[in-house]
Amino acid sequence: MAGYLDTYGVQDAKREKRWKWILLTSAAAAVIGLALFLFFRNFREERAAKAFLEALRAHDYQGAYQRWGCTAQNPCRDYSFQKFMEDWGPNGQYKNVNAVQFTTVDACGQGVVLTVEYPNAEPFGLWVDRSTQTLGFAPWPRCPGRHWHLWDFIKSRFG
């Protein structure tokens, strides 16, 4: 025969277990969502910069110049195709495209600055506009101001 207090606290234990499950699931979803946001935040801009490098690897200099937002028919006012070829062409300063490395990526207002490191050259910033996905030289190698660089912090602590 069941006693009067046999089920005492069972409902409270079930409720507590349900709340723990809801809280842990919500916290896990928030952490995963934040990680995905931080990982994919600049995905389109990084892909645009990699497509630019792929065009250079394929020796499609006109296509790479178009990614810069310029065409042979409508060249950029401050960056002519001849100057582009002096920088990125087969005899240019950055002719070995395989040596180009993007070391940091900074979200900066309406665009993204990718820090480009090239052997025997000063690091420089490559600007990718968020709305048009066009490239250009940034005035700085990294975005000015303070930024969260969690990956750099982790690498500095744990090598």
pLDDT, tens only, 74-103: 888 888 899 999 999 999 889 899 999 998
Give the phi and the psi of residue 102 in degrees, each rounded to 5.
-95, 110
Instruction: Tell me: pLDDT of 121 over 80.
Output: yes
Quote helix, strand, coil % in the chain, to nearest 5.
45, 15, 40
* Tokens linked to 71: 């065409």
H or E, element range at 3? none
pLDDT attached to residue 75 = 81
- 124, two tokens: 């420089």
Q: What is the pLDDT of residues 54-77, one digit of tens each?
A: 999 999 999 999 999 888 778 888
Residue 126 clears pLDDT 80, i.e. is over it:
yes
Confidence label for 2 from pLDDT (cuts 50, 70 and 90): low
Q: How confident is the model at residue 18 (pLDDT cuts 50, 70, 90)?
A: very high
**Is the model's pLDDT at 1 over the cut of 60?**
no
